[in-house]
Amino acid sequence: MIFPTTTFAVFFSIVLIASWLLMPRPRVWRLFVIAASFVFYADWDWKFVFLLAFSILWNQAVGVGIYRLTVQSQRKALLTVGLIGDLGVLGYFKYYNFFVSSGHNLLSSVGAGFPLGTRQIVLPVGISFFTFMAISYIMDIYRRDLEPVSLTKFGAYLSFFPHLVAGPIVRGSELLPQLETPRDPRQVDTSRAFYLIATGLFKKVVIANYLATHIVDAVFGAPVQHSSLETWIAVYAYAVQIYADFSGYTDMAIGLALLLGFKFPQNFDSPYTAVSIQDFWRRWHMTLSRWLRDYVYIPFGGNRKGEPRTHLNLLATMLLGGLWHGAAWTFVIWGGMHGLWLAIGRFRRERGWADDAVTGWRMWRRRIVTFHLVCFAWIFFRAGSENGLSTAWDVIKRLFDNWGASSPAVTSGVVLAIAVGIASQYLPARIPQTIMARFSQARVAVQITVLAVALMLSHAMGPQGVAPFIYFRF
């Protein structure tokens, strides 16, 4: 079920009314939210509801077991079992064919065979997101940062439909305390919620879908048929597309959760204004960045074991982060690039050669360099898994070897959409705050009219149909 559809609008309207009616009865409310979230998830494929239910039961049992044990070695052993269960399920659905194909290719190159064959495996939507949330839950209990909650609370936390299929990755410490007491409808920030939903819808339906259908899909689908100018513009367009698509989804998710009375953490903070790759990851998919830092980088040793090990930990963390995004070498290369750039940036800062606190032309120069490093890595990310390395190489070559050819795909609409997607990130924070403040002061009839007009404009300006969000398949 996709957010910007009539089906979801009907579903959410029913859930919103029922949720507030049941809110004074917390246990009944939690059971209702779990049921509603299962219905939401079943719209994709009802069989995978059992996978979500297994994740809830498995991680709740592991978390309670870890909490009750007092012997450290036993607690660590049970945590290991829990992680093996979570990562084993994730690995089977997401990486089985990748590792089997890689094994076949490696052994075939030396004239040997591989004992396993590929299978037709359907990737469950959102499995990476709810698995990462489940892992954070049991690891926080192991670290004594969190106490296990009841099964219905954990079930509501893990399956809550606004974040279920594409994040943000909400920690137990961020959402579980909000489940302790009924939400107060008088405290709901409806103006912010409507603003986030409307802007998120515009980003997805108008900006992201437009760029995908008017230039990105065509160029990355057949790069040798396009000019160098079209290829450059397509790379910039994809940078804007993936930002508008993913941040648009999380804006809507945060807004929907707000209408239900719950607050999610921010997931994007103008990432294309970053002055370094480290700064970029402070602004891009922030909940994943913090998850990788706290549950991968720090357990690897972080920066506590000397400079060479720190650089290696950064590279390893981002390689795993790249693999999390997709079972293909293109994603590994994408993550490796970011890991390498993070390590180089840290090396420079340790020697006093770099400082993020720059102003004037130096700041803009670093922004431009950072943006182009990110865009170059996006080529591998967009190339995907099917002939991905070949596609990425064709795109890179086409950036330079076909200047002067006609470029019909570079239209004023494409250029405008790219400009809007990037320029909007440079708007002062006070502008949306002022808009939300004035919107909240307007009469209810005016608010409804403004929201309805915004929705109609988004529908009219966007392409026919709504493509699934990019991060649904990760």
Task: Tell me the C-alpha distance between 98 and 327, whole Å.
Answer: 6
Residue 158, burial from CB neighbour count under 10 angstroms (0-12, 13-18, 19+): buried
- From 226, 325, 372, 459, the catalytic residue: 325
Task: Tell me the C-alpha distance between 444 and 258, whole Å.
Answer: 18
| Residue 373: CA count within 13 A, CB half-sphere | 26
Q: Nearest to residue 327, comparing CAs of 119, 167, 25?
A: 119
Q: What DSSP designation does 305 have?
A: S
Task: Tell me the C-alpha distance between 32 and 16, whole Å.
Answer: 11
Q: What would you measure as the largest C-alpha separation in the chain, in angstroms? A: 74
Residue 131, burial from CB neighbour count under 10 angstroms (0-12, 13-18, 19+): buried
Task: Tell me the C-alpha distance between 131 and 137, whole Å.
Answer: 10
Cα-based distances in Å from 213 to 207, 324, 355, 367, 397: 10, 26, 40, 28, 23
First to last CA, the chain: 16
> CB of 167 within 8 A of CB of 289?
no
Q: Nearest to residue 140, comparing CAs of 243, 229, 59, 254?
A: 59
Task: Tell me the C-alpha distance between 157 and 138, whole Å.
Answer: 13
Q: What DSSP designation does 208 have?
A: I
Is 163 known to be catalytic? Answer: no
- Which helix (H) or strand (E) segment holds residue 388: the answer is helix 388-398
Task: Tell me the C-alpha distance between 40 and 96, whole Å.
Answer: 27
Task: Tell me the C-alpha distance between 179 and 152, whole Å.
Answer: 10
For CA atoms 369, 372, 377, 378, the dihedral sign is positive
Q: What DSSP designation does 392 have?
A: H
> CB of 79 within 8 A of CB of 138?
yes
Which residues carry out catalysis? Answer: 325
